Amino acid sequence: MTASLHILLNGASAALIIFTASAAVASFFTQSSTARVIASVVLVLATLLIPISTRSVFEWTVSAVGRLSLPGLVLLLALAVSATTGQRIGRSAEFRFAALMLAVAGLVLYPAATGFLNYDTYMLGYSGYLLPSATALMMAYAIFRGYRLMAVVLNVAIAAFLLGIGESRNFWDYVIDPVAWIIGCGTWVAVATGFLLTRIVKPANVLAPSQPSSGIGETPISHRCPPKSSAA
């Protein structure tokens, strides 16, 4: 039963990634949410049939991505909804905060875990109080700001770790994954780019000289206010 659950979760992660990417591409060609969903489902099914060597494209995706963390899965699900409906998920303060936390966590974890730093921060997920304390502070802030979904997701991730539901025994794997980190970084690159463009474009429009009037269709000044006739 546990092995079947692992296979199902791994497959769901890969399917959601393919679905979201397909919906994002389809959004350039159609405004219909139904058409985007149909195109994305068709592509997911196609990856099951297209072979690469001895495995299908879908199986290669599963092996390459593995299982997403719960926060990463929820973040990707929000992007999937945004890609299919056209809603701008970046306007949500809760989404931006979650993306920022995942981006920062990835900057703490991955450079050290890949050998760019002398200390391997991945080891913090096996023991100690630093990572659980940081997660508790983040959860407390989410509750304080009213980010209920984020607080629930973190609680479920902690419960999954304590119950040993996942394959890993490292707490990092329950709160972040590479896909979630990419989404978090990409979200804030887009937010920062939009902010800079707003700061640059708007002042340019304000300072731009007004266009001189062509005079077409306007009454000449001399005809607007005829001079008063002088007294005889």
**Tens digits of per-residue pLDDT, 141-198?**
999 999 999 999 999 999 988 888 777 889 999 999 999 999 999 989 988 888 788 8
Q: Using an 8 Å Cβ cutoff, are 132 and 124 in contact? A: no
115: left (phi over 0), alpha (psi -120 to 50) or beta: left
119: left (phi over 0), alpha (psi -120 to 50) or beta: beta
Q: Using an 8 Å Cβ cutoff, are 76 and 16 in contact? A: yes
> Computed from CA positions of residues 193, 196, 200, 201, in that sequence, does the dihedral angle turn out positive or negative?
positive
Rounded average pLDDT over 200-219: 55
Residue ranges per structural domain of the chain: 1-67, 68-204
- The full DSSP string for 194-214 is HHHHHHHHHHHHHHSPPPPP-
Distance CA 48, CA 81 (A): 23
* pLDDT of 35: 94
Is residue 220 scored above 90 in pLDDT? no
Q: What is the pLDDT of residues 83-128, one digit of tens each?
A: 999 888 888 899 999 999 999 999 999 988 777 778 888 988 988 7
Residue 200's pLDDT band (cuts 50, 70, 90): confident
Distance CA 105, CA 97 (A): 12
Q: Which residue has the higher pLDDT, 151 or 3?
A: 151
Retrieve residue 44's tokens: 């997911």
Counting every residue written for the chain, the total comes to 232
- Could you tell me the pTM of the whole model? 0.77
